[in-house]
Amino acid sequence: MALQPVAPAGKGGMKIRVLFLAAAMIAACKKNPHISKSEIEQLTGNKVEQILIQKKYQLDSSPSFEDIVLFESGKTTRLAVFTPSDKGYGLLRQHDFMQQLSEAKLFFVAIGGRKSQILITHGQGEKTLQLFDARNFTQEFSPKNLATASVKVVKVEDKPHDELLNFGKDNFRFNGVRWVPYAPDEIFPYVDSFEAQGDQSIIEITNRGQFGTRVLVTIAFPELTAADLPAKLRLTKDISTVTLYKPGASVHKNGGGNVSLQHPIIEIRKDSWGKNGRIKLPLFMKDVKRFTVRAVYSQRGQNLTWPAAAGVGITKDGQNYFAVERVQ
């Protein structure tokens, strides 16, 4: 087809054409705010049949916004978390639900320190809840152990203004390790940092709960044996309020009597521990991932324990106390 000459447009037509071309150029140059389907397939290695939910959110204290995608691939639903990079995106994590989720919804829950987790609910009536961070944390609440038909996210009034999961009569709060039962009148040890980096290792724990006296915080290391000391765990400073008990040591047992330790524990003593009070313990740790944390304390003349009872996210340690365990 031969091109035909076009008569010059009037001033009004020319102005409209220029504006149209400028708008088209801006639209063409505008970057898609989300990772594309082809990029998802390339980075995850899975075919994307349908994107169910796609959101951007700032999951940690870094300035970047992660791209969170829930998509169907084959006969399963997958969650993928991406972070922007100089050359596009990088994959932070991927989770396979091993089934196609029904009525899936995606929310974000604040855990304090400008950090949030991904909350996915799915199912009809009694729902299953699953929580994820941007790395490797996963925790599930199912109808088998909680009434999950009605769940609310409730903001804590005091700093750091993190949020609770409210299941009617039961409240759960993240303690840096797991979502555990929460009561507003208890102490609440929050593990700010657990860094096993040789001589630069550190454990930091903040009391996000109420004031307590005669506090004894116990950190146990179930995977370590006597042969692992001191190559994997040792104190690097002589602190009068901190004691490392080695495997084989005779220590008290909840309910009375003593027990011989099967693994090392560290006890940290504090005469008083106020709201937002922090414990900072420098030490040596290497290849340490799994640990439990618990506390005994006094309030109004009563001797109490934290955690106070069994529940989702709670285990028992070698001294027969309820404790919170990190397994990742």
C-alpha span between 110 and 45 (Å, rounded)? 30
Bridge partners for 108 per DSSP = 118
Residue pair 107/119 in contact (Cβ under 8 Å)? The answer is yes
C-alpha span between 92 and 87 (Å, rounded)? 15
Bridge partners for 119 per DSSP = 107, 131
Residues of the chain with CATH 2.60.40: 189-326
C-alpha span between 131 and 260 (Å, rounded)? 36
Out of 2.40.30, 3.30.1330, 2.60.40, 1.10.3470, select the CATH number for domain 189-326.
Answer: 2.60.40
207 contact partners, CB below 8 Å, separation of at least 6: 187, 188, 189, 190, 273, 274, 275, 276, 277, 278
C-alpha distances in angstroms, 64 versus 40, 46, 222, 249?
A: 18, 25, 36, 48
Residue 117 CA from chain centroid, whole number:
6
Q: Can you give the pLDDT of all 328 residues of the chain as single tens digits?
A: 333 344 444 445 444 444 444 444 444 334 568 899 999 999 999 999 999 999 999 998 788 899 999 999 999 999 999 999 888 899 999 999 999 999 999 999 999 988 999 999 999 888 999 999 999 999 999 998 888 888 999 999 888 999 999 998 899 999 999 999 999 999 999 999 999 999 999 999 999 999 999 999 999 999 999 999 999 999 999 999 999 999 999 999 999 999 999 999 999 999 999 999 999 999 999 999 999 999 999 999 999 999 999 988 899 999 999 999 998 6
C-alpha span between 202 and 192 (Å, rounded)? 10
Two tokens, residue 153 = 């996210």
Q: Which of 92, 90, 179, 176 is nearest to 136 (CA)?
A: 92
